[in-house]
């Protein structure tokens, strides 16, 4: 049965079945116990599930989850302080579009203003943006992606650039 545990009981402690069979607190406690066993078996996602369950039920986090959660937060803080590279989850598509547009404009400038041939323009744009060669493929793919998206969605990149904003290189 979908949405049921191995005994055939509904997984959702707020399911109407629980009002007749047992209290909501008993159901939540049983569910947290299942999360504890799963976490002890190596399923890290059970910690997050327990945190969400406690938050939804307005309960304190069980003792077994406090230490692993604290260790996880410490690891995340250490990684941030080391300056880990890459995008943060909240930066998302807007940041990707901005980076693609910067690369697109650098290629166009290399061709139109500096007179580079298309094959050489990607390397020139890479040098302007990053101070060295080595990103030509990424610049070329971004340029092609922006061209393709501009044809499919003409106004996609208009909101990313203000008419009075000047790019500083």
* Residues 110/125, Cβ–Cβ less than 8 Å: yes
- Full pLDDT tens readout for the chain, 169 residues: 455 666 666 555 555 555 545 577 777 788 888 888 888 888 888 888 888 888 877 888 888 988 888 888 787 776 665 554 555 555 567 677 888 888 888 899 989 888 899 889 999 988 888 877 778 899 999 999 999 988 888 777 776 554 444 444 4
Q: Report DSSP letters for 47-62, one per residue.
A: HHHHHHHHHHHT-PPP
Q: Give residue 161's region: left, alpha or beta (phi > 0; psi -120 to 50).
A: beta
pLDDT the model gives residue 1: 41
Q: What is each CA distance from 133 to 26, 55, 80, 139, 162, in whole angstroms?
A: 63, 50, 28, 11, 29
Residue partners of 133: CB distance under 8 A and separation at least 6? 123, 126, 127
pTM score: 0.43
How many Å apart are CA 57 and CA 25, to the nearest integer?
9
Per-domain boundaries in the chain: 16-81, 92-160
CA angle 162, 167, 169 (to 5 degrees): 170
């Amino acid at each position: 049965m979908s949405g049921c545990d191995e005994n055939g009981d509904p997984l959702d402690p707020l399911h109407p079945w629980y009002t007749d069979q047992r209290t909501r607190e008993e159901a939540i406690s049983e569910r947290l116990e299942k999360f504890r066993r799963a976490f002890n078996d190596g399923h890290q996602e059970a910690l997050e599930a327990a945190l969400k369950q406690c938050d939804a039920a307005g309960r304190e986090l069980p003792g077994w989850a406090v230490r692993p959660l604290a260790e996880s937060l410490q690891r995340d803080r250490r990684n941030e302080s080391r300056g880990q590279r890459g995008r943060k989850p909240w930066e998302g598509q807007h940041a990707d579009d901005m980076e693609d547009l910067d690369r697109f404009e650098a290629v166009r400038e290399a061709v139109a203003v500096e007179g580079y041939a298309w094959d050489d323009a990607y390397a020139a744009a890479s040098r302007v943006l990053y101070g060295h060669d080595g990103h030509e493929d990424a610049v070329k793919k971004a340029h092609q992606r922006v061209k393709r998206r501009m044809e499919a969605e003409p106004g996609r990149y208009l909101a990313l650039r203000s008419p009075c904003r000047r790019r500083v290189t």
